[in-house]
Structure 1
Amino acid sequence: MNRTSKFQTILGKFLTYFILLSCFAILGLYAVQRFGAQYAEQKIQEQLEHSGLTEFVHYQQVYFNPFTLTPSLEGVKVGAEDSPLLIFARISFNSYLVKHPNLDIDFWIQESPIDSLSRKTGTLMRSAGMNTLLGKGSFSSTIQDEGIVSELKLDIKDAGKLTLMSNIRLLDQHFTLSDLRSDILASFALGQPEALPIIYGEAIELRSLDIKYEESGLIHRLFSLSSSNQKNRINLEDALLLASQTVGFAPANSPEAKQIATSLQTFIETPKQLTLSLLPSTPTSVKELTLLANEGSLYKNSRITIQSHQ
C-alpha cells in the first residue's frame, strides 16, 4: 500500500471516529439536558409546594443548561395567572439547587403592557408615568458569619437602577431562610407586604442596609421643578418635611427632617444618584425598628444617612 492510500485510510478512520464521538457527545448533552430538566422541575415543584407558593408562581417550562448544569424557569408569572404582579421572560439559577439555601439568580422582566398586569402593578406604573414595564436584575443571598448577606439589583427601563444590600440574622430557629424567602414572595403576591414585620418582627435582626438609586427618567417625570421657582422649592421642602414624619424618620419640625429634606431636594433638582444607609450601632430587630418609626425617631437612633451624589 502506497503512502497516499495509507493516508486516506488513516484519514477515513479518523473522520469515522470523530463523527461517532460527536454523535455520542450530542446524545450525552441531550440526555443531561433532558434528565437535568426533569430533576430540576421536580425539585422546584417540591419547593413550591412545601412553601405554599404553587398558586402564586406559574411558569411555562424548565430549561436545563447541560454545560453549566444550572436550570432556568421560562415564562414565569408571579401572582394571579390571569393578572400577575410581574411577568418574567426567564429566571436563571447561577448555581445548582444543591447549594441551597444559598441563592444566586439573574432575571429578565418580560416587556409587559400595563393592562397585562395586576391592578396594583398598574396603579404603580400609572403613578410613575409608565405604560410598559421592561427590566432585568439579579439577586444573591448567602450565609456569612451567622448572618444572611443579600444583594438585589434591578434595572427598569425609563425608571432607574436600584441596588439593595442587606445583612440580617434570623434569631428564631423555628424560621428558616427558605421560610423567609417564601413568605416575602407570598406577601407581595397577595399584596400584603405589611404582614412581614408582624410575622418576623422579633425573628429578624438587622445589621446593615444600603439602598442606591440611579435616575434614568422616573424623577424627571414625577417632578417638574424649576430651581428658579422659589414657591415650588418651598412647597417641595414642606412636602419632604412632612414625608419624613409620615414614614417615621423624624418629626417634621426637627433638624433631622431638615437634613433629609435638603438631601432629597438636592437630588430631585439634579437627579443622578441617591443613597440611603442604615447602620445601627448594635444589631436591631425589625420590631425595635418599627417602634422607632412609630416614635418618629428612626433617623436619629438608627444611624441613617441619606446622600445625593452629583
Structure 2
Amino acid sequence: MNHNIVTKLQSGLGKALTYFILLSCLAILVLYLVQRFGTQYAEDKIQEQLNQSGLAPFVHYESIHLDPFTLTPSLENVSFGTENAPWLRFARISFNSYPIKYPDLDVEFWIQESPIGSLSRDTRNLMRAGGIETLLGKGSFTSKVEGEKVSSQFKLDIKDIGKLDLSSKINVLDHGIIMSDLRSDVLASFALGQPEALPIIYGDAIELHSLEVKYEESGLITHLFPQSAVLRDSPGNQSNGLRYASQALGLASADSEEAKHVADTLLTFLMQPEKLSLTMQPSSALSLKELVLMANKGTLYKDSKMTLLNN
C-alpha cells in the first residue's frame, strides 16, 4: 500500500515538474517574442515621431530596450545634435507609461557623464559660463491629459548647477491637436532655438491656467554672480539695471512697483542664492496670444498674476 502511494506521488510530481518546465519554456518564449517584436514596434513608432517633428537628424541612439512586463521602451546611449559633438548625451531615456496610458506621458532620463570637450561648441560655452567641466544629471517629465486640460511637470537636476522644477496646467482648445504633435513641436522649438514659434502656431489654441517654476542653487549663481562682483556695484545701480531688464522682458515698466519688487527679490537672491520661485496664476486661463500682448504692453507681471519669491 505504501509502495503504491509513493509510486503515485512520484508520478504526480514528475508530471507537475514536466508541466512546470513546459510552462516556463512557454513563458520565456512569449517574453522573447514580446520583447523582439515589441522592440521593433516601439522603434518604428519612435522613429515616426522623430521624423514628424523634424528632429530625426538631431537624435541618435544606440539601441532600444523594451521591458516585456510593462511594455515600456527605453532609448540607450542617446545623443542630441551631431554624433561627434552633440548638445547632450543621455545614458538612457525611459518612457515609463508608453503606450499603455497614452496620451499620458511619464519619461525619465539620465544625462551621461560628459567631459566638456566631448560636447558641441554651444554646450561647451554654456558649461564654461556655468563653471563646470563635466556635465552630469538626471530629470523627468510627466504629463497627464484629462479632456482639454493638460497637467505637466518637468524636473532637472544638474550636478554643480542646480535643481529646476517646472509645472504647468494648460487648456488645449483645438480638439484637432494631437498631443504627440504638440509635445514634438515644443521640443523642436526649443531644440532649434525658436521658442517664439509656439505662440505663432498655437496662439489661440492653447490657454495657460497656471505656471510654477522653482530653482534651487547648487553652484550656477555663485559662479555667475560671485559675491565680490555683486558687492562691487552700488545697490541703486543694480536695482535700476534689474528694473530696466524687467521692462525689456515685458514684465513691467521700469518705474512700476512690480519692477521694484522683481529687482528687490533678485538682489536678495543674488546676495544669498538658495531658492527662487516664480508662479503665474491668472484669474482665468489666458491664451498664448494674450500673454504675448501683455508682454508687448509691459504688463505681463501684473496682468497674469505673476509672483516672484525667495523661498
Is the TM value for this pair above 0.5? Answer: yes
- Give SS of 2:243's match: helix
How far off is 1:235 after superposition? Answer: 4.2
- Give SS of 1:89's match: strand
Among 253, 256, 262, the alignment partner of 1:254 is 256
What corresponds to 2:241 in structure 1?
A: 239
Structure 1 distance, partners of 2:289, 2:120, is: 31
- Give SS of 1:28's match: helix
- Give SS of 2:310's match: strand
What corresponds to 2:107 in structure 1?
A: 105
Structure 1 distance, partners of 2:7, 2:159, is: 64
1:44-63 equivalences under 5 Å are 44-63=46-65
What corresponds to 2:83 in structure 1?
A: 81
Kindly indicate whether residue 119 of structure 2 is the aligned counterpart of residue 117 of structure 1.
yes
Q: Any stretches of 5+ residues in structure 2 without a counterpart?
A: none
Kindly indicate whether residue 132 of structure 2 is the aligned counterpart of residue 144 of structure 1.
no
1:111-260 equivalences under 5 Å are 111-225=113-227, 229=231, 231-260=233-262
Deviations, residues 240-295 of structure 1 (Å, cap 9, x unaligned) = 22321221111222221111111122222222211100111221111221121122
**Most deviating of 149-158 and 14-23:** 14-23
How many correspondences in the alignment?
Answer: 309
Deviations, residues 76-111 of structure 1 (Å, cap 9, x unaligned) = 222333332222211111113253322111111111
Q: Any stretches of 5+ residues in structure 1 without a counterpart?
A: none
Structure 2 distance, partners of 1:178, 1:30, is: 29
Contact 1:207/1:279, CA 8 A, preserved across alignment: yes
How far off is 1:177 after superposition? Answer: 2.1
- Give SS of 2:136's match: strand
Deviations, residues 153-212 of structure 1 (Å, cap 9, x unaligned) = 111111111111111122344533222211122222322223223222233211111111
What corresponds to 2:36 in structure 1?
A: 34
Contact 1:226/1:269, CA 8 A, preserved across alignment: no
How far off is 1:227 after superposition? Answer: 11
User: What amino acid is the match of 2:218?
Assistant: S
Structure 2 distance, partners of 1:254, 1:139, is: 36
Structure 2 distance, partners of 1:40, 1:230, is: 56
TM-score by length of 1: 0.89
- Give SS of 2:227's match: coil
Contact 1:56/1:189, CA 8 A, preserved across alignment: no
Percent of matched pairs sharing the same residue: 60
Structure 2 distance, partners of 1:158, 1:29, is: 42
- Give SS of 1:294's match: helix
Contact 1:279/1:303, CA 8 A, preserved across alignment: yes
User: What amino acid is the match of 1:155?
Assistant: D
Change (3 A) 1:10 1:232: farther
Structure 1 distance, partners of 2:53, 2:12, is: 60
Contact 2:148/2:173, CA 8 A, preserved across alignment: no
What corresponds to 2:306 in structure 1?
A: 304
Among 258, 269, 272, the alignment partner of 1:270 is 272
- Give SS of 2:163's match: strand
What corresponds to 1:282 in structure 2?
A: 284
User: What amino acid is the match of 2:95?
Assistant: F
Q: Over aligned residues, Cα RMSD in angstroms?
A: 2.6
Change (3 A) 1:125 1:302: same
Contact 1:74/1:91, CA 8 A, preserved across alignment: yes
- Give SS of 1:115's match: helix
Structure 1 distance, partners of 2:54, 2:276, is: 37
Structure 2 distance, partners of 1:200, 1:120, is: 28
Structure 1 distance, partners of 2:101, 2:6, is: 56
What corresponds to 1:292 in structure 2?
A: 294
Contact 1:74/1:90, CA 8 A, preserved across alignment: yes
Structure 1 distance, partners of 2:8, 2:206, is: 75
